[in-house]
Amino acid sequence: MGNVILIGFMGCGKTTVGLRLSYRLRQAVIDTDKEIEREEKRTIADIFAAEGESFFRELETACLRKLSGNVRNQIISAGGGLPLRAENRALLHEIGQVIYLRAEAETIYERLKNDTTRPLLQGVDPEGKIRKLLGERDQYYAEAADVIIDVDGKTFEQILCEIEQHVG
């Protein structure tokens, strides 16, 4: 089995699904946000605040380049904005099988309404921000994906079963 990559909007469940899948498939999980925080020795929020979003996007591409060719039989949970760059989408395809966990804006808002760790959703009208970003991004997620799984109203168990039908 090769690498399995989880993509999708913030709050779609990539981290949780990645961890549970890692137990089930006995494969290690890598989270690109955590890799970047470890390398930079600061949080994503601090990186955004100090350097801005485009600097962070460069770090994401650098992180993917490093993973490409160096990881085997792993699960990779990709930051929500990572598939937006064409270069990153190409790298994702090279690295492994890409699974898009697709969620509705309502589901995402309910999960993230009290979250303070996502710089892009802070400030006024987070629900409006989610709708706008999701509207812009869905096409890129779909383009990057080998498999699309709708997660709304499903348990993690159901989502894992669906993923297992496609990998392996």
Binding site for ligand S3P (CB under 6 A): 10, 14, 33, 44, 79-81, 118-120
Query: Closer CB to ligand S3P, residue 81 or residue 126?
Result: 81
CB 167 within 8 A of CB 29: no
First-to-final CA distance of the chain: 5
CB of 135 vs ligand S3P, minimal distance in Å: 13
Minimum CB separation from ligand S3P for residue 76, in Å?
Answer: 12
CB 123 to ligand S3P: min, Å: 14
CA distance 150 to 41: 34
Burial of 37 (0-12, 13-18, 19+ CB in 10 A): middle
Comparing CB distances to ligand S3P, the nearer of 59 and 95 is 59
Q: How far apart are CA 81 and CA 7, in angstroms?
A: 9
Q: Which of 152, 168 has the CB closer to ligand S3P?
A: 152
In the chain, beta strands by DSSP E? 3-7, 29-31, 75-77, 96-102, 147-150
Shortest approach of ligand S3P to residue 94 CB, angstroms? 20
Residue 1 vs 136, nearer CB to ligand S3P: 136
